[in-house]
Structure 1
Amino acid sequence: MTASEYILASASPRRSELMRAHGLRFLTVPAEVDETLPPDTDGPDAVMYLSLKKALWVESRYPELAGRRIIAADTVVCTRRILGKPADIGEAREMITELRGAVHHVYTGVTLLVAGEPRRRCFCEGTKVFVRNISDPAVEAYIRTQEPYDKAGGYAIQGTFGKYIDHIEGDFENVVGLPCRRMLQELARL
């Protein structure tokens, strides 16, 4: 492995883009974990649980990372339930239909740790998202694009779906997948 300031335990191109935009040098080492949640887990607990699981997986698999700072994150969209990534067009339709004309929360859990050391920080950032009422034909057109299928809740606020967002309350980058301002504050405390 090459030297870099941070290890990003994620394959998300959106998280990589956000880290680069904030001037962070990092190496990507995607975590391979089972994302099954314990029963009755709410959004904030779910994302902190999964981000911790990812960070610990990378730390345990790569002992040569000792002393390096690992960053892991997980994002979910929550209505009355947790919406993950849609598996198919039917799930994408169901999710977008549920989100339209309504308010939902986006939670991103972030775990920061120094590999091989007891220093760890885990936090959750939440953003409230207000979606415009979208017509059935617009829903159908959107779910036939590739955009919904690798994103929590079936949408990307920074993508074509952004035109359907009325407004948000909170951190835009959190909705994209990594609340960098908060993360940088927590890294300074780590």
Structure 2
Amino acid sequence: MILASNSPRRKEILENFGFNLKVITKNIDEVSDEEDIIKRIEDIARKKVSAVAEVYPNEFVVGADTVVVVDDKILGKPKDEKDIYEMLHSLSGKSHKVITSFSFVNISKNISISDSEVSEVYFKNITDEEISWYIDTKEPFDKAGSYGIQGKGSYFVERIDGDFFAVMGFPIGKFVRTLAKNSISLDDIKKL
């Protein structure tokens, strides 16, 4: 199976479940005309996967997109340290939504599946000193919302309501259940 993402977290989650992956990505404009936030994130995930699937029409291709939403504002990956400070300050002491959408395509088999998982994450109050410490770890630079729940960013998390793996970058449970609903069994996974 092809993973249309450079995310080491997505690769780790899928490989730990038993998928054999090749990572192949295409650069796309990560934009969507969809009004609804969840549909917009699904559309972007689908575009990422479709760009690769068009080149490899006989392969199964999977990909995802994750965003953090706080106060109706979407937080993607930070551009710089200033961005990290602003994002973490906006998350401090409150809850936010993490939306991860996935897409699974095989053009020759006429398979195109997309779905999403929404989780609620609650943060403790974060000090400037803690943000500086976190920036020094280099961890927040490539992560939506400027934190990784599976790493040192877990220090900020008081609790989550939802799917830990979706917050990490890929809702593996929902993905596998969705495959099963589409007649792809657990035994088929190693063959993908």
Task: Answer whether TM exceeds 0.5 for this pair.
Answer: yes
Residue equivalent to 2:180: 188
Alignment of 1:141-180 (within 5 A): 141-180=133-172
Cα distance in 2 between the residues matched to 1:78 and 1:159: 20
Superposition deviation, residue 104 in structure 1: 0.2
1:1-190 alignment runs, 5 A limit: 6-38=1-33, 41-63=35-57, 66=58, 68-79=59-70, 80-190=72-182
Which segments of 5 or more consecutive residues in structure 1 lack a partner in the other structure?
Answer: 1-5
Match of 1:3 in 2: none
Alpha-carbon distance in 2 for matches of 1:118, 1:178: 23
Q: What SS is found at the alignment partner of 2:104?
A: strand
TM-score (norm 1): 0.90
Task: Report how many aligned residue pairs link the two structures.
Answer: 181
Tell me the distance in 1 between the aligned counterparts of 2:76 and 2:119: 16
Quote the RMSD (CA, aligned, Å): 1.4
Segment of structure 1 superposing worse, 73-82 or 22-31: 22-31
Unpaired segments ≥5 residues, structure 2: 183-192
Please give the per-residue CA displacement for 1:128-157, whole angstroms capped at 9, x wherever unaligned. 000001112111221233111101000000
Moved more, 74-83 or 139-148: 139-148
**Contact persistence 1:108–1:179 (CA under 8 A):** yes
**Hey, what's the Cα distance between the residues in 1 that align with 2:9 and 2:158?**
22
- 1:5-28, CA deviations, whole angstroms, 9 ceiling, x for partnerless residues? x21111100001101111111211
Give the secondary structure class of the aligned counterpart of 2:174.
Answer: helix
Summarize deviations over 1:54-107 as a string: whole Å, max 9, x none. Answer: 1110011234xx1x2211100000012110000001111100010110100000
User: How far apart are 1:188 and its partner, in Å?
Assistant: 2.0
Q: 2:5 aligns to what SS in structure 1?
A: coil
What is the Cα deviation at residue 42 of structure 1? 4.3
Distance 1:56 1:94 in 2: 33
Mean CA deviation greater in 139-148 or 129-138: 139-148
Paired with 2:165 and 2:78, the residues of 1 have a C-alpha distance of 21
Q: Output the CA distance in 2 between the equivalents of 1:82 and 1:37.
A: 13
- SS at structure 2 position matched to 1:61: coil
Check whether the contact 2:68–2:145 (CA below 8 A) recurs between aligned residues. Answer: yes
Sequence identity, in percent?
A: 35
TM-score (norm 2): 0.89
